[in-house]
Structure 1
């Protein structure tokens, strides 16, 4: 069932989304070689709770951490651990919160130190594809229009692998609501978009082939060919004429630019 949000509910969701954005911007300030993803996860939990909010990933279907931190060939759902980040790593950090009963959920991929030019391009193109998809999240369009826009920019133009097994989703008082929002598909197909729908749009794009596998922990998803994977995600409200992005990358990007340990793609 698709739940249409009122304007008042959308504003509550915006507050949740912006707390995620703020959390990710604080993480961007401390990212560096030598830091562990487990330390980042603990930092994220403390920061979210300081706003009387809850890290929504913790214990979700048994997930044992506060955030998903996916390094290099890990697509999504990476377990934070004691491995120290090193120069050349790319790190997708996916954070969710519950604030005043409403969910915020989005992700950003960072580059630690110097990374190869082809990986830089993968990050740029994936981020661009997110906004290509968001442009189609307007009243009267269909889910397939979002999906096609992302696939066209990443797979058809640049030959990257678009993950099929994992998709974006509706968002609200539950972390995952209808409809599903795939990153591949045909224009003019799928659920019709209506004003007040809130979607988490999240391209997951591999440098190599689209194929992935899940590790024995039941969560960590990796590329089958070991190629790098990039993940970006925004929370978006469908509106007439132009989508309303509830989350905000601006503070994250500012922190990224000001951190000499990060490479801005």
Structure 2
């Protein structure tokens, strides 16, 4: 049983639109800043400036002990990487996670990008494929949410897709979550099949779906900075995430500028704006 209702009112859903769009803007600014020679701190600065333009606050900075706007995880780092003076190199795979808070409501989203490197085409292709599989598993999870009766169907869709694409590993120690007044709320959102059905999917449910996928072993460790999660075998990882609202007319991807339309249309789902 959940300690309080996990379902938002129609007015609360409307208030979550702005922080979702601010989160998307911060990630777009970060994406533009990811080039060879940039540091993850400079990427952080770009995301922070984008939030300031929208009069949004970084909800990452509100996590006790964390001082940055984004998490920047490179190569074998999976999630929670701290921005620093590390210089990005051609061929790097970079995952950026960001969130925004406006009026007490939160957004949370992440993407992965691979920097071109003509001298290592096989590595770039492997990493690009990893990112694409992870992203598409996210969209298949979102598409299932649009049709699901219970939340844990999302994890089934994500796992089924990833397993159909090759020998990839899905992290099980880190999962998605509800989102609203806090960045991390109940219920848990699994990226894999579990025995429990989970809560009913009905209007008012808002969740952050975020598969984390690796090319090798799913064994991870936390670095000495006490934040960064990295693969034990040193192989590449990818992370994609969106915050998604279920409302009376359908679903809407809060952290996608088009509500997820371009990605969901090929999957037979038409998102509907929150009114």
- Same fold (TM > 0.5): yes
C-alpha displacement at 1:15, in angstroms? 1.2
Which residue matches 1:260?
A: none
Secondary structure at the counterpart of residue 230 of structure 2: strand
Tell me how far apart the structure 2 counterparts of residues 49 and 33 of structure 1 sit (CA, whole Å).
25
Which residue matches 2:237?
A: 229
Q: After TM superposition, where is structure 1 displaced by more than 6 Å over at least 4 residues in a row?
A: none
Which residue matches 1:244?
A: 252
Tell me how far apart the structure 2 counterparts of residues 227 and 192 of structure 1 sit (CA, whole Å).
37
Which residue matches 2:262?
A: none
Question: Cα RMSD between the aligned structures?
Answer: 2.1
C-alpha displacement at 1:49, in angstroms? 2.0
Which residue matches 1:194?
A: 202
C-alpha displacement at 1:247, in angstroms? 1.5
Which residue matches 2:42?
A: 39
Task: Say if 2:204 is the partner of 1:169.
Answer: no
Contact kept? 1:145, 1:187, Cα under 8 Å: no
Contact kept? 2:40, 2:88, Cα under 8 Å: yes
C-alpha displacement at 1:200, in angstroms? 0.4
Question: What is the TM-score with the length of structure 2 in the denominator?
Answer: 0.85
Aligned residues: 252
C-alpha displacement at 1:187, in angstroms? 7.4
C-alpha displacement at 1:186, in angstroms? 3.8
Q: Which segments of 5 or more consecutive residues in structure 2 lack a partner in the other structure?
A: 118-122, 260-275
Question: What is the TM-score with the length of structure 1 in the denominator?
Answer: 0.88
Tell me how far apart the structure 2 counterparts of residues 228 and 112 of structure 1 sit (CA, whole Å).
13
C-alpha displacement at 1:131, in angstroms? 0.7
Which residue matches 2:71?
A: 68
The one of 152, 156, 180 equivalent to 2:188 is 180
Task: Say if 2:92 is the partner of 1:84.
Answer: no
Secondary structure at the counterpart of residue 155 of structure 1: helix
Q: Which segments of 5 or more consecutive residues in structure 1 lack a partner in the other structure?
A: 252-265
CA deviations on 1:106-156 (whole Å, 9 max, x unpaired) are 011111123522222111111110011001214752222101111111135
Q: Which has the higher contact order (CA 8 A, sep 6+)?
A: 1
CA deviations on 1:177-222 (whole Å, 9 max, x unpaired) are 1001011114772222221110000010011122211112221001
